[in-house]
Amino acid sequence: MKTHLLRQLFFLIAAMLTVACTVHERGQVNDNDFKALLDKYSVLAQDYPDSALMILNELLPQQQGDDKAATHARILDIIGVSYNLKGKYDSAAHYLYEASRLAEKIKYDSLQMIVLSHLGILQFEMKNADDAVKYYQQSLVLSEKLKDSIFIAYQLNNIGNVYMTLNNEFEKAIPYFERCMEVSEKINCIKAYAVAGINLAQIYNELGEHDKALQKIKRITEQYGENNYASFTVGEIYYKKGDYEKAIHEWKEILTKNEQFDSKEFEYAILNKIADAYKVSGNSDSSLVYLEKSYALKDVLHDLETDETINKLKIAYETEKKEMEIERQQQVISRQNLQRAILVAGVAVCAIILALLWFMLRLRNRRNHALSERNDALTEMNATKDKFFSIISHDLRNPAIAQRDALQLLVQNGSRWDVDRLTSYYRDLQKSADGQVDLLFNLLGWAQIQTGRMTYAPETFILTDALTDLPFVRKMAANKGVAFSSQIPGNAIIAGDRNMLAMVIRNLLINAVKFTPAGGEVKFDVSPACGEIPAGYTVTISDTGIGMTKEQTGKLFRLDSARSRKGTAGEQGSGLGLIVCRELLEKHGSELHVESEEGKGSRFWFELRSEASTELF
C-alpha cells in the first residue's frame, strides 16, 4: 500500500509540472509540437488515466473555435478513453460522443474512424453487444473508405470477438475472423492474423470440431512459425478432447522453450492449466507440484507489477523533467511564472505527504474499529427485533383491543345515546382508526426495507403527479383546524422512485399535521436546490407545532430509542415513520435534515436530483 502511494506521489509531481509548463507556454508551441504532445498524452492515458485527465482538462478550454476543432476533438477522444480505463462509463460516453459529433462535423474521417472504434470498445466493456457491433461496423465502413487495411483487420476481429465473447454466437463470429485472416495475410499483419486464427480455433474447439481447430493452429504456425499462444490453444484443444497427456505435453513444451517469459501472467495460466490437467487425469501428486509453482509465481507477479509501475513512473518523471528544462531554456521570459508553478507543486507534495501520514495512521487504527463495528451491527439487529416485538405487542394490540371494546359499548348503548354523543364517539373511533392505518403503512414499509423486499425503481417524473395524497392531508389539516399551504413548481422534474418519494412526503406531512395544534400552520415548499445537489430541488415541510427538545431530535432516527408520541389531538404513532423516511431517502443518495425548537415547531427538508446519476444511484 505504501509503495502504491509513493508511486502516485512521484507521478503527480511530474504531471503537475507538465501542466504548469504546457498551459503557461501554450502560446509559443506550434501546431506540430502540440500534436506530438497529444500523442504522448494518448500513450500516457493507457497507463495513467488520472494524470492524463488532469492535464487534458487543463488544455481543453484553450482549444475552442473552428480553427482548433480538430485538436479539440482529439483531446475529447483521449479524455473519453481515459474515463473508460477508469471504469467511469457515463463520463467516457459523454466525451466520446462529443468527439464523434465534432469529427463528423469537420469531416475528420480518420479521427472519426478511431473514435467509433473507441465507442465500440466502451460498449464492449459495458457488455452491450448490439451497440458494440454497431460502432465497430461504422468504424469498419470508414476504414474501408480510407483503405486502411490494418484498421479493417482489427475491426473485423473486434466484431467477431463481440459475437464470440458476449453472445456466444459462434456461427456469426466465424466469417469475420475468416475475413480478418484474409486481409491480414495480404498486408502481412502477423498479429491480427494470429489473433483471428486463434479465435477461430477456440470457436471450433467449443463447437466440438477439434480437428478443424487444430488445422487452423497448424496454418498459423506453418506461415509465421511457432507461437506460444497458438501452442497454448493446441493444449486446450487436446484438453477438450480428453487427451490430457498431449495437452500437458503442449503446455510443458511452452515452459521448456521459454526460460524467461515476456508475460508472467501467461506463465501463471499455463501452470494452472497443467495442474488442472493432472488433477482430472488422476495424478494428484503432479497436480500439487504445479499448483505450488503457480502459487509461487503469483507472489512474483505481484512484485514484478510493483517494480514495473515504479520504473514507468521514474521514466515518466525523468522525461517530463528533461522536457521542462528544454522549454525553460527556450522561454526565459516565463521563468518567474514557472517557479510559481513549481511552488504550487511543492505545496501539493507537502499535502500529499501529510495525506500519506494520515492514511498510515488510519490503517493502524482500522483493526481496532472492526470489532466495534461488529458490536454496533449486533446492537442494531437486537434493536430491530425489540422494536418489532414492541410494535406487535403494544402499538398494534392495544389500539385494536380498545377499538373492539369501544364498538361493544356502542352496540350496547347506541340506541340510547343522542346524536351529538354518537357523533363525538364516531369521531374518536375515526381518529383511532386513522392512527392504526398510519401505523400499518409505516410498519409495512419498514418491514419491506428490513427484509429487502422494497424494490428501488428509479424513473424521471413530474413531482406533482406523484403527490396524490395531498387532498387527504389537506382534509386532515382542515378537520383539525390547521392551516395548510403548499408551493410546488408545476415543472419540477424529479429522478427517483415515485412510490418511495410519495411515501416520504406523505409521512412528513401527516407528522406535521399530527403535532400541530388547532390554529397552527403547516407549509409544504419545493424550490430549486442550491446545496450539495445543485441540479435538483429542495423539499421543505415546516410547522408551528409543539416542536422537540435537542435530546428528542438526537434520538429521532435511532431505532433503539424511537418512541411513539401522541399528536396534539391524541393521534397515535409508532416512532417508525421518520426512520422509514430516512432509509428511503438514503436509497436516493439524499439525507433527511431536521430543525426543531420545543414549543415553536419543526422544519424537515431534503434534496432530490432532477436527473439520474450513476455515481449517486
User: Do 196 and 126 sit in the same domain of this protein?
Assistant: no
User: Do 158 and 179 sit in the same domain of this protein?
Assistant: yes
For 55-79, b where at least 16 C-beta lie within 10 A, e where not — what string? bbeebbebbeeeeebbbbbbbbbbb
| Residue pointed to by grid coordinates 429522478 | 495
Q: How far is CA 357 from CA 5, 457, 558, in A?
A: 11, 42, 35
Q: Report yes or no: 158 and 133 within 8 Å, Cβ to Cβ.
A: no
Q: How far apart are CA 298 and CA 99, in angstroms?
A: 40
Is 61 among the domain residues? yes
Q: How far apart are CA 317 and CA 325, in angstroms?
A: 12
Q: Report yes or no: 561 and 579 within 8 Å, Cβ to Cβ.
A: no
Helix count (H) and strand count (E) of the chain?
23, 7
Q: Report yes or no: 538 and 544 within 8 Å, Cβ to Cβ.
A: no
CATH of the domain at 101: 1.25.40.10
Task: Give the pairing type, strands 521-528 and 483-487.
Answer: parallel
Q: How far apart are CA 117 and CA 173, in angstroms?
A: 18
User: Do 234 and 95 sit in the same domain of this protein?
Assistant: no
Is 83 among the domain residues? yes
Spatial strand order in the sheet of 601-609: 483-487, 521-528, 536-543, 601-609, 593-597
**Helix, coil or strand: residue 462:** strand
What are the tens digits of pLDDT across the range 368-390? 676 666 666 566 656 655 555 55
Total domain count, the chain: 4
Q: How far apart are CA 94 and CA 111, in angstroms?
A: 17
Is 22 among the domain residues? no
Alpha helices in 452-523 (DSSP H): 463-466, 470-480, 498-514
pLDDT > 70 in the chain, percent: 66
User: Do 133 and 209 sit in the same domain of this protein?
Assistant: no
For residue 485, give the H/E element and its range: strand 483-487
Q: Report yes or no: 457 and 591 within 8 Å, Cβ to Cβ.
A: no
| Nearest residue to 383 via CA among 244, 560, 541 | 560
Is 21 among the domain residues? no
User: Do 571 and 499 sit in the same domain of this protein?
Assistant: yes
User: Do 114 and 155 sit in the same domain of this protein?
Assistant: no
One-letter amino acid for residue 63 of the chain: Q
User: Do 162 and 120 sit in the same domain of this protein?
Assistant: no
User: Do 73 and 92 sit in the same domain of this protein?
Assistant: yes
Q: How far apart are CA 559 and CA 557, in angstroms?
A: 6
List % helix, strand, coil for the chain (3-state, nearest 5): 75, 5, 20
Is 360 among the domain residues? no
Is 319 among the domain residues? no
Is 318 among the domain residues? no
Residue ending a domain, among 88, 123, 147, is 147
Is 12 among the domain residues? no
User: Do 82 and 108 sit in the same domain of this protein?
Assistant: yes
Q: Looking at residue 116, what is its pLDDT?
A: 92
User: Do 485 and 451 sit in the same domain of this protein?
Assistant: yes
Interaxial angle between packed helices 470-480 and 498-514, expressed in degrees from 0 to 180 and rounded to the nearest 10: 0
Range of the domain at 570: 379-609
Residue 83 sits at the vertex; the CA angle it makes with 78 and 87, to the nearest 5 degrees, is 145
| Residue pointed to by grid coordinates 409543539 | 546
Task: Give the pairing type, strands 536-543 and 601-609.
Answer: antiparallel
DSSP summary character for residue 393: I
Task: Indicate whether this model's pTM tops 0.75.
Answer: no
Residue ending a domain, among 147, 182, 197, is 147
Q: How far apart are CA 172 and CA 177, in angstroms?
A: 10
Q: Looking at residue 521, what is its pLDDT?
A: 95
Positions in the chain whose pLDDT score sits under 50: 1-31, 33-34, 394, 613-617
User: Do 520 and 563 sit in the same domain of this protein?
Assistant: yes
Q: How far apart are CA 84 and CA 49, in angstroms?
A: 9
Residue ending a domain, among 255, 279, 307, is 307
CA 405 to chain centre: 56
Q: Concatenated DSSP letters for 133-162? A: HHHHHHHHHHHHHTT-HHHHHHHHHHHHHH
Q: Going by C-beta distance under 8 Å and a sequence separation of 6 or more, which residues neighbour residue 441?
A: 503, 507
User: Do 401 and 530 sit in the same domain of this protein?
Assistant: yes
Task: Give the pairing type, strands 521-528 and 536-543.
Answer: antiparallel
